Amino acid sequence: MPPVAPVLDQLDANLDQSLERLFALVRIPSISTDPAFAKDCRRAAEWLVEDLKTIGFEASVRDTTGHPMVVAHHDGPAGSPHVLFYGHYDVQPVDPLELWEDDPFDPKVKELEPGRKVITGRGSSDDKGQLMLFVEACRAWKQVHGSLPCKITLLFEGEEESGSPSLKPFLEANAAELKADFAMVCDTGMWDRDTPAISVGLRGLVGEEVTIHAADRDLHSGHYGGAAANPIRILAKVLADVHDENGKVTIPGFYDGVEETPTQVKASWDALGQTPEKFLGEIGLSIPSGEKGRSLLELIWARPTAEFNGISGGYEGDGFKTVIAAKASAKVSFRLVHKQDPEAIRAAFRAFVEERLPADCTASFHKHGGSPAIQLSYDSPIVTKAKNALSDEWNKAALTIAMGGSIPIVGDFQKLLGMESLLVGFGLDDDRIHSPNEKYDLSSFHKGQRSWARILAALTA
């Protein structure tokens, strides 16, 4: 195996140029959920393809029914492993724009506090900054050694922030081309600014939109109030019933398949010293709202949730309008753990709503995706090698943690391509992803490149 040390030196020398490349990608407003930015999504895919070609990848833009995929291949030494690296080039919308301190698509390096520089802009962390770390590691390997340490396939999608509707069909149609020995996913984070982490647990997700229908039109609240059913009131009561006074979800069968976290794992989490005051204090809160009697990390990593993500109904403009709305809607998401069945959860929620409706009212539902939870081995050889490589770079033992979020692609890799995934990322909790003023620490960007170079060396040694 060629030595990694000169590759690390090359990454140090390339830092300014790598920043310029990231800035060029961040400047492209590849907002996948808004059709107005469809051309920009394609432009981002084309930019990546052209950049990858300069490294020696055989890269192409691959059309789907939605935004295109980027697929790239590079050979490695005979007998070396074949890895598939996944990231996404699309970004979230920037609303509300007035809360941004700078143009979200005009990236900069700013000093957040003395000694701490950050990269600003939409996608700087999620996920353009993250995916470019691996690309830069590959670039430095080629510049130093003229080759890569293993066979690498890259898959960058353009719809992760809008539900990935094209991803599963694309994986199914191109399974033979994309299958590798294992996958690597970068859309994760560190424990803190100085402590790298590998994620081995991911919560699943069920998204539902429910609409309560009552009268055939909006009604005058003076004329009909007290007689006509009010769908906003009905919806509010249904949502209030979802949790009991101890934060437990009351939907029948909701906890089927939920297992207790092993005692030794909970003990290792407790040793990290995370508290509600520290975790919630950063967002102006202090009291956990989930199941009572559970630790903070248990609540966000190992317990299922039901959350309300949006409610609408009636007059929502400026001023006041005295109407009883004809309908009211809510967007509800469930984070799943262990062996919970997404479709069983969806059916149970719909039945829960139907049982609480007045006889002359109805409910309609709209499905917003679903995926089961993922639990990977804490002690697989791949995880062990990556942990050692991360520990060498950061001079601090890398942690194996779980995640509160969901990355459905990990399950798709497992089910459709028969591959386990290594989840390594360098995002931080305060990166403000999906919010105004998204940023990415310069230390994450620099040491993240070096970390991936070390991981490639460790996995192919």
In a domain, 272, yes or no: no
425 and 333 in a common domain = no
Give the distance, in angstroms, between the CA of residue 174 and the centroid of all CA atoms in the same chain.
Answer: 23
Check pLDDT > 90 for residue 300. Answer: yes
Q: What is the mean pLDDT of the chain?
A: 95
Question: Burial letters for 247-268: b for 16+ Cβ neighbours within 10 Å, e otherwise?
Answer: bbbebeebeebeeebeeebbee
Check pLDDT > 80 for residue 402. Answer: yes
181 and 118 in a common domain = yes
In a domain, 224, yes or no: yes
Cα 158 from Cα 127, distance rounded (Å) = 11
In a domain, 271, yes or no: no
H helix or E strand, kind and range, residue 223: helix 221-224
Task: Check residue 264 and give its pLDDT.
Answer: 81
In a domain, 293, yes or no: no
* ∠ CA 73-76-80, rounded to 5°: 120
Prediction pTM value: 0.80
In a domain, 162, yes or no: yes
177 and 111 in a common domain = yes
125 and 240 in a common domain = no
Question: Burial letters for 340-369: b for 16+ Cβ neighbours within 10 Å, e otherwise?
Answer: bbbeebbebbbebbeebbeeebebeeeebe
Residue of 187, 191, 339 lying closest to 268 (CA atoms) = 191
Check pLDDT > 90 for residue 358. Answer: yes
Task: Check residue 296 and give its pLDDT.
Answer: 95
253 and 388 in a common domain = no
Cα 429 from Cα 278, distance rounded (Å) = 12
Number of domains forming the structure of the chain: 2
The DSSP symbol for 215 reads S
Q: What is the CATH number of the domain that holds 328?
A: 3.30.70.360
Query: What's the average model confidence in pLDDT over 170-186?
Result: 97
Domain boundary among 371, 391, 419: 371
169 and 68 in a common domain = yes
446 and 312 in a common domain = no
Query: What's the average model confidence in pLDDT over 134-144?
Result: 98
| Alpha-carbon separation of residue 264 from 44, 110, 269, 291, 389 (angstroms) | 45, 41, 9, 21, 24
238: its two tokens: 């249904």
Helix or strand or coil: residue 269?
A: helix
For strands 204-213 and 362-371, give the pairing: antiparallel
pLDDT-derived band at 461 (thresholds 50, 70, 90) equals: confident
In a domain, 284, yes or no: no
User: Which amino acid makes up residue 85?
Assistant: F
Domain extent at residue 361: 204-258+304-371
Q: Give Cβ neighbours of residue 393 (< 8 Å, ≥ 6 apart).
A: 196, 447, 450, 451, 454
Q: What is the CATH number of the domain that holds 164?
A: 3.40.630.10
Query: What's the average model confidence in pLDDT over 151-169?
Result: 96
Check pLDDT > 80 for residue 158. Answer: yes
| Alpha-carbon separation of residue 430 from 125, 191, 287, 405, 417 (angstroms) | 10, 11, 19, 15, 34
The dihedral built from the CA positions of residue 261, 263, 266 and 268, taken in this order, carries a sign that is negative
Q: What is the pLDDT of residues 97-126, one digit of tens each?
A: 999 999 999 999 999 999 999 999 999 999
Task: Check residue 29 and give its pLDDT.
Answer: 98
User: Which amino acid makes up residue 367?
Assistant: K
Cα 440 from Cα 361, distance rounded (Å) = 48
Phi, psi (rounded to 5 degrees) for 394: -95, -5
230 and 162 in a common domain = no
127 and 247 in a common domain = no
Check pLDDT > 90 for residue 163. Answer: no
234 and 192 in a common domain = no
The DSSP symbol for 391 reads H
208 and 65 in a common domain = no
91 and 208 in a common domain = no
Task: Check residue 199 and give its pLDDT.
Answer: 92
1: its two tokens: 């195996």
Domain boundary among 341, 371, 401: 371
Cα 167 from Cα 374, distance rounded (Å) = 18
| Alpha-carbon separation of residue 160 from 102, 138, 164, 300, 427 (angstroms) | 25, 23, 5, 22, 17
As a 3-state breakdown, the chain gives helix, strand, coil percent values, each rounded to 5, of: 35, 25, 40
Q: What is the pLDDT of residues 415-442, one digit of tens each?
A: 899 999 999 999 998 999 999 999 999 9
Residue of 411, 422, 414, 432 lying closest to 458 (CA atoms) = 422
In a domain, 289, yes or no: no
Domain boundary among 352, 371, 390: 371
In a domain, 74, yes or no: yes
H helix or E strand, kind and range, residue 62: strand 58-62
